[in-house]
Amino acid sequence: METARLIISIGVLTFLGWNVLYLISRGRGLCRTERAALSYALGVGCVSLEMLTFFFLGQPLRVSMLLAPWAVVIILNMIRAFREGGAPRDAGALFHGSRAPYRPVDILLACGIAFEVCYAFFRALIKPIESYDAIAIYAIKSKMLFLARAVTADFFLAMKAFFPHPDYPLNIPFIETFLYMTMGSLNDQLVKVIFPLFALAILALLYCAVRRFASRTYALLFTFVLATIPMFGSYAANAYHELPLACYYFASALLLFRWFERPDRTRLLAVSAVMVGLAGWTKNEGMLYCAVNVIVLAAFVAFNYKGMSAKGLIGAAAYPVIIVVLLLPWILVKRSFGITNSDVDLANINPVYIVGQAHKIVPILNEFQKQIFGPKKWNLIWIAALIGFAMQYRSAFTGIRRYVTLSLALAVSGYVVFYMKSNIEVVHFVTKTWARFLLHFLPVAVYWLALILKDDIRI
């Protein structure tokens, strides 16, 4: 019975996310697979934000009360679909060589991807949440909320007084609570299904993104590359929040790059803003990716504003506004209760201080190279990225690819500044976190590699 309720709950979250996607963009320009992946992530993020608003409203957490407001959205979408002529056309026809027959290598790659996905679900569901951070920072909060059946001031005061990292966002803990309530029990074994589903969403988004400019075999190859990376598979099952964050950032980045190709599609830009805002609601590091996307967007507008329409410029200006609106409830909660980060003080970042921390560069770069040349965790993905960049240096800085390159450079630079600003001993800090942080932009790196190598790998 618990399993059935869990499956229904995941379906409900995805359906609600689909309604959010339809409300914003009507799903235009997206294939069914992309819409399903985006809907799951949107459903998780939007329902968890709704649960936070119940704190401001002083309402208890009840499944019926959480679902009731969505009736308005569903009815509006039904009216809109009736007036506009039904669901959007599937974008599969936009794929490169969509009618090409399946080849044996396609079947082998697809079977390999399917095996890795099934194995991730198996590893996630054979045991309850047991890793330290997943319990002490996140899962304990979801269990407190489930038992209290409400988000109260006492909850935030207890977080501040007794738990490590009280400022960490609550996207996944809230959804864990939602699933506990729908299942009717604290089954933290089944609730781990959240994480391989995010991994599956990332793989689906990557495949569809690569298929837009390359063959089925090429797209399956790079999807297989990502699926078989040991760190990716491990974090699809251990209840850490790295892959949910990676999913939100990856989705937002892909939609942003798509908008660069067609600046008149402001609806896709709005979905990108929502997704990166949800990245900030998932982990503190998501704030970095909010900044990355805004900077990349500003760079694009600066170089192309003369050819952009007023609609495109307004959409670009609205991008940071959407992010702020999504993050504002959590910002207000943290300010109200004086919840701060004890590891990094972002209030006084300045160039003079950063320069004074230059001695940290050597241990930071040392850990970076350990990960690059660490096939045990990463296979050869980072070595391949370096070789690909060396081979296609010019290609990496032409067309839309230059903005993908800029995104990756900004992400790495942001983490370097983060390490240099931190109060924690740098060797310990970098050693403990850099491997996890690499996962945040790993899908974008694989997509970037597929972009710059498309003329060298002809399959």
Please determine, for residue 92, whether its predicted confidence score (pLDDT) is greater than 60. no
Quick: pLDDT tens for 11-30: 999 999 999 999 998 877 89
Tell me the pLDDT tens digit for each residue of 138-165: 899 999 999 999 999 999 998 888 887 8
C-alpha dihedral sign at 32, 36, 443, 254: positive
Residue 346 one-letter amino acid: L
- pLDDT > 60? residue 230: yes
Q: Which two tokens stand for residue 19?
A: 């309604």
* More reliable by pLDDT, 48 or 418: 48
* Nearest by Cα to 52 from 331, 288, 340, 337: 331
**Based on the number of CB atoms within 10 Å of its own CB, is 255 exposed (0-12), middle (13-18) or buried (19 or more)?**
buried
The pLDDT of residue 344 is: 64
CA 258 to chain centre: 17
For residue 108 the two structure tokens come to: 């082998």
pLDDT at 112 over 90: yes
Average pLDDT over residues 319-338: 95
Q: So what's the pLDDT on residue 99?
A: 66
Residue 150 has phi, psi (to 5 degrees) of: -165, 155
Q: What local confidence, expressed as pLDDT, does residue 145 receive?
A: 94
Q: What is the pLDDT of residue 134?
A: 87
The predicted pLDDT at position 359 comes to 79
**Exposure string for 189-223, b = 16+ CB within 10 A, e = fewer:** ebbbbbbbbbbbbbbbbbbbbbbeebbbbbbbbbb
Residue 426 — pLDDT band, cuts 50, 70, 90? confident
**Average pLDDT of the residues in 52-78:** 94
Q: What is the pLDDT of residue 346?
A: 58
Give percent above pLDDT 90 in the chain: 69
pLDDT at position 325 is 97
Q: What is the pLDDT of residues 154-208, one digit of tens each?
A: 999 988 888 878 899 999 999 999 999 999 999 989 999 999 999 999 999 999 9
pLDDT > 60? residue 94: no
Burial class (CB in 10 A: 0-12, 13-18, 19+), 175: buried
Under 8 Å between Cβ of 237 and 116: no
Residue 314 has pLDDT above 70, yes or no: yes
Which candidate, 123, 127, 126, 162, places its Cα nearest to that of 141? 162
Instruction: pLDDT band for 409, please (50, 70, 90 cuts).
Output: very high
Phi, psi of 60, rounded to the nearest 5 degrees? -70, 160
Q: Which amino acid is at 15?
A: F
Least confident among 1-10, 345-354, 392-401, 431-440: 345-354
Q: What is the pLDDT of residue 83?
A: 83
Burial string for 363-385 (b: 16+ CB within 10 Å, else e) reads bbeebbeebbebeebbbebbebb
* Listed ranges 194-208, 328-342, 421-435; the one with the highest mean pLDDT: 194-208
Sign of CA dihedral 114, 120, 123, 125: negative
